[in-house]
Amino acid sequence: MTWNDKRIETWVGVMLRTGVMLAAAVVLAGGALYLAQNHGPRPDYEHFHGEPAHLMSLRGIGHGVATGDPRSIIMLGLLLLIATPVGRVVMCVVGFLFERDRLYVAVSSLVLVILLYSLFFHK
């Protein structure tokens, strides 16, 4: 089978589905642990006060997961989920490379650059 758009899309579909299920499993595990440890009243979501700094950096989440912190595990699942569409764009760059479609290698690379900028630098 040669490389064509249909084949790229099939691979992308499988990857997206797997990514979502993996992310949901991690979120579910973190959630179960969270509920096992927290029995108090619901947290205050009525007033916005952001999230603790350690949940807003990759290093902080990594450390939290290593120590079994439920919120960090949930955040890891959410980051996996956010990564699935990014993975889709990466697969399209590769797929268009195989198709030797230079125009669309450039288009999908541009989308990838915008996404990476937004994830790590956008303020």
Partner 1 sequence: MNELWFVVILFLSSTGAGLLGALSGLGGGVVIVPLLTIAFHVDIHYAIGASLVSVIATSSGAAAAYVREGFSNIRVGMFLEIATTLGALVGAWLTTKVPTQAIGVVFGLVLLYSAYASLKQKHAEMTEKPDPLALRLLLKGDVPADDGLHHYVAQRVPLGFGLMWMAGALSGLLGIGSGAVKVIAMDQAMRLPFKVSTTTSNFMIGVTAAASAGLYWRSGYMAPSLVMPVMLGVLAGSLIGSRLLVKAEVRTLKIVFALVIVALGIEMIVHSATGMGA
**Residue 34 vs 97, nearer CB to partner 1:** 34
Place of tokens 């249909």: 6
Q: How far is C-alpha 72 from the chain's CA centre?
A: 14
Site for partner 1 in 20-79 (CB under 8 A): 20, 23-24, 27-28, 30-31, 34-35, 38-43, 45-51, 55-56, 70-72, 74-75, 78-79
Q: What is the C-alpha to C-alpha distance for residues 21 and 31, in angstroms, rounded to an integer?
A: 15
Which position among 84, 90, 94, 97 is part of the footprint of partner 1 (CB under 8 A)? 84
Q: How far is C-alpha 119 from the chain's CA centre?
A: 10
Cβ(97)–Cβ(105) below 8 Å: yes
Q: What is the C-alpha to C-alpha distance for residues 121 and 123, in angstroms, rounded to an integer?
A: 6
Could you list the residues that contact partner 1 (CB under 8 A)? 5-6, 8-10, 12-14, 16-17, 19-20, 23-24, 27-28, 30-31, 34-35, 38-43, 45-51, 55-56, 70-72, 74-75, 78-79, 81-82, 84-86, 88-89, 92, 101, 103-104, 107-108, 110-111, 114-115, 117-120, 122-123
